[in-house]
Structure 1
Amino acid sequence: MRTTLKTEIKLATSISARLIYYAKLSKPRIIWLLDLAALSGAFLSGKLMPLNIIAVLIGGTLASAGSMIINEGIEIDKDKVMKRTSKRPTVMGYVSQKEAIYVGVALLTLGTLAGLLDNLLTSFFILLGGLVYVLIYTVWLKPRSPLNIVIGGLAGSAAAWAGFASTTSSFTISSLLLGLLIFMWTPGHFWALALKFKEDYSRAGIPMLPVIMSETFSAKMIAVSNALMIPFALALSIYSGIVYGIVAAVLSAIQMYFSIRLMKNPTGEEAWRSFKFSSPYLAILLILIIITRLI
């Protein structure tokens, strides 16, 4: 009896621990923003379809989590030498490379199938986001080219397109603009992070822009990326109204303020300030789209 009880407790603890490991590997701080992108896409259509929205959120969450887990399974050796990632469960040996990849593929597959509960186009965009992140970004571009995060930004765009498709079964100019906003937001956001952790990426041999170019040039490219993002942010006011437009203009001005500060003083500390503002910037715009379409 005691042996059985101890075995059951050990098994329960093991399952609980593994769930925690996979939750950490799934990068929930990124997933919530991807889900918000999908939600804003769904509401941008102007059609309130709760069951469709729930389906795309479940599918998107599963697929995003799977893609992140595959990424960390593939990149164990790189994560080991980066201070920022050296405590991940894959690096610590709690989750093996093979297990991470198998579980990640299973979750990506389940997420894609969940998208079919809405329609084929939703499922396609969910799968597209996962394949872009895993194959194009992680496997192909990240170890080879500073353009890695530029093309990789399509994974975030696909989340918004999946959300829009979930309630419309279509792809339109409005959904394209939302996807392009996220696409143009991505380089400035992650180049700022890479500038802050330049030594980490250098040790891992990852050719992020700030690793292979000077801090001054990298700061200019961050500013250019952010500047190119603003027209798409403002263009969405056509569909989301004047209040959205005013807020987008104010937030964009603040984002450019941080970009100008970074160009004048291209340090890790200034890059971190720009990075920390960019997530709320995008999140607020996405939430505003949802609110204005509800109203």
Structure 2
Amino acid sequence: MSTSIQTRLIYYAKLSKPRIIWLLDLAALAGAFLVGKISVLPLIAVLLGGTLASGGSMIVNEGVEIDKDKVMKRTSKRPTVMGYISKKEAITVGAALLAIGTAIGLFANPLTSFFILLGGLIYIFVYTVWLKPRSPLNIVIGGFAGSAAAWAGYAAMSDNFTLSSLLLGMLIFMWTPGHFWSLALRYKDDYDKAGIPMLPVLLPERDAARYIAISNALMIPFALSIFPFVGIPYAIVTTIMSAILFYFTIRLLRNPTGKEAWTSFKVSAPYLAILLITVIIIKFFAII
């Protein structure tokens, strides 16, 4: 493999936002283990297909948003902005990865493939193209892209969509606004320069912090609603983690600065990850 190909793969790896993909893969794993049985081939199919489709969707996103990324300090060094990957190439390669990932999902079953594709289409067309440049509800509706990962994982093991999988997906949906509004509050000036109407851009910092607090508060009942399908240990972990999350939410309410918003953002990602890992561990030991 030549150095140029290696370098190009590195560029695409960066564009695929691996820090988001690993959380989506955790959601798919949690959905799979929530069923209470594991089949190896469908599990490989949903993880591999979901990873490729998610990465492809992210790459398309950054191809579409080159002009906006140029004016944002946080995104100004992306390979697309630097000219290493063109807009056309990013969209073409990203779309191809989404298609390949969707096809791989068929090795599990058509419902899995459908949810993999649904997540990608929501992220690209509903979030990136339609809502993100137009509405402060962008990240709210766009949160369903993350829900689809959990639904795909559940479908891979069961070829079904049930109340438990719905609730797991709704946890991710409800978690998304508070998480990304914290990021947007931290980089409020960036989003303002790019003309992206994220909620914290349109509101004073204190009001934005209130919406983050409301979002987090509304999310916690959904987090707890899964415990009948997992068990008391999950409820205990969720209660502890929710108390920690809300401690930092209150700190942000009292001091709605970019620094506190960044802390809130950094806490909320491990919050969701720990809940998903808890589901996986509890159900794993139940299976064996």
TM-score by length of 2: 0.98
Contact kept, 8 Å, 2:186 with 2:261, in 1: the verdict is yes
Select 1:115's aligned residue among 105, 108, 120. 105
Counterpart of 1:41 in structure 2 is 31
2:244 maps to 254
What is the alpha-carbon distance in structure 2 between the residues aligned to residue 248 and residue 98 of structure 1? 43
Alignment partner of 1:69 is 2:59: yes
Taking the aligned partners of 1:51 and 1:115, their CA distance within structure 2 comes to 10
Matched, 1:173 2:160: no
Amino acid at match of 1:139: V
- Identify the match of residue 91 of structure 1 among 81, 105, 109: 81
Structure 2 alignment gaps of length 5 or more? none
Which residue in 2 is equivalent to 1:286? 276
Q: Which has the larger radius of gyration?
A: 1
Find the counterpart in structure 2 of residue 12 from structure 1.
Answer: 2
- What one-letter code is carried by the residue in structure 2 that aligns with 1:160? A
How well do the aligned residues superpose, as a CA RMSD in angstroms?
0.7
In 1, the alpha carbon distance for the partners of 2:110 and 2:213 equals 38
Aligned to 1:101: 91
- Residue by residue over 1:76-127, the C-alpha shift from the partner in whole angstroms, topping out at 9 and shown as x without a partner, is 0000000000000000000000000000000000000011001111000000
What is aligned with 1:28? Answer: 18
Choose from 187, 212, 223 the match for 2:213.
Answer: 223
Query: Which runs of 5 or more structure 1 residues have no equivalent in the other structure?
Result: 1-10
Equivalent position of 2:71 in the other structure: 81
Name the residue aligned to 2:199.
Answer: 209
Give the Cα–Cα distance (whole angstroms) in 1 for the partners of residues 31 and 97 of structure 2: 22
Cα distance in 1 for residues equivalent to 2:111 and 2:208: 37
Equivalent of residue 132 in structure 2, options 142, 165, 172:
142
Give the counterpart of 2:41 among 38, 47, 51. 51
Helix, strand or coil at the partner of 1:91: coil
Read off the aligned partner of 2:69 and give its amino acid letter: D
Give the TM-score normalised by the residue count of structure 1.
0.96
Q: How much does 1:21 deviate?
A: 0.4
Deviation by residue 1:39-90 (Cα, 9 ceiling, x = unmatched): 0000000011121111100000000000000000000000000000000000
C-alpha contact (below 8 Å) 2:41/2:107 kept by paired residues:
no
Aligned length: 285
TM-superposed CA distance for 1:251, in Å, is 0.5
